[in-house]
Amino acid sequence: MGPSSPTGPNVPWIALSRREKPDGGSQKSNLMNDRTTAPEPSAQGASVTLAPGVRRVRAPNAGMMTGSGTNTYLLGEREVTVIDPGPEDASHLRNILSAAGPQIRWVAVTHTHRDHSPLATELARLTGARLIGLPPPADGRQDERFRPQQQPRDGEILALGEIALTAIHTPGHASNCVCYLDSRERLLFTGDHVLGGVSPVILPPDGEMAAYLHSLEKLGGYDFERIAPGHGEILERGKRVVELLRAHRLARESKVLSCIGAGATLEELTPRVYDDVPSERHGWAKLTLQAHLIKLEREGRVCERAGVFRTKSG
């Protein structure tokens, strides 16, 4: 099915509302204000230099669920690490090989949703590169062909030729999400864990809201200045972006509790909690709402009976 369906192949994130601010209100400003002030050229397929030894090639899969397309990053010059090779697309594969083919030694993935990792297997076959990442969960939304040769430990420093990346396990959006920190450039590659101006969909049962919030808090212990997300432009003031994203999720949680009232079903809650989101996106919003409710149930703050959710005091 197409990317507009929650059962379709592209499940990274959704621009639920570009008007949200952390306190639940709305304003013209948003997290995108913390991106680079002069956006880099966004032509799909072009190799764009973002920092010394860091380039981006954008996949031609723009859409509601992928924004301007999946960002593939090329790190290093003599020996290249590819982060998130992207969807199975012959033209994108050619562009990656044209930019760095003979130098590619490693392919690392942030997670195995089908807009991020499917080219990894073919790229490794053609170049002999070593595959790095965590195996795909069995939830039907993954690139099941991905078979990592190296599964990075949380906090492990990966020596990859000219560069070193710290692997940071950040479950939440998916259970196998990994961020990679280039300490030299203070640049954090986040996949779909952190994005600019949008909030990633949390996809239960594999994705968990409590884990997602914990992972955001965990990033505060690392030294980075900028964020290279899986979609969109480089984000400046990366720590601030993470703080705002966590505040937004907690504000949405408070709204869930206030909207339950005397009791409500998931279907009744969705338009109430996401009244600031276009109705055509409510199918995706409902998944994240479900993740919020699962968290609240586990914390004993909400209970469910016969499909009706109530607060414990309600």
Based on the number of CB atoms within 10 Å of its own CB, is 306 exposed (0-12), middle (13-18) or buried (19 or more)? Answer: exposed
The dihedral sign for the CA sequence 176, 49, 34, 225: positive
- Give the pTM: 0.88
- List, for residues 117-166, the tens digit of each pLDDT value: 999 999 999 999 999 999 999 999 999 999 999 999 999 999 999 999 99
* 3-class DSSP string for 84-120: CCCCCCHHHHHHHHHHHHHHEEEEECCCCECCCCCHH
Q: From CA 152, how far away is CA 291, in angstroms rounded?
A: 27
What tokens were used for 245?
A: 């994203």
Q: Please spell the DSSP secondary structure of 1-64, one letter per residue.
A: --TTSTTSS--S-B---TTB-TTS-B-S--GGGGB-SSPPP--TT-EEEEETTEEEEE-S--BT
SS3 233: coil
What tokens were used for 162?
A: 């000219």
What tokens were used for 119?
A: 């080219």
123-142: burial string, b at 16+ Cβ within 10 Å, e else: bbeebebbbbbbebbeeebb
Q: From CA 133, how far away is CA 146, in angstroms rounded?
A: 9
Q: From CA 185, how far away is CA 51, in angstroms rounded?
A: 8
Print pLDDT tens along the chain (314 aa). 222 234 334 444 443 433 333 333 333 234 333 333 334 445 667 899 999 999 999 999 998 888 889 999 999 999 999 999 999 999 999 999 999 989 999 999 999 999 999 999 999 999 999 999 999 999 999 999 999 999 999 999 999 999 999 999 999 999 999 999 999 999 999 999 999 778 899 999 999 999 999 999 999 999 999 999 999 999 999 999 999 999 999 999 999 999 998 999 999 999 999 999 999 999 989 999 999 999 999 999 999 999 999 998 75
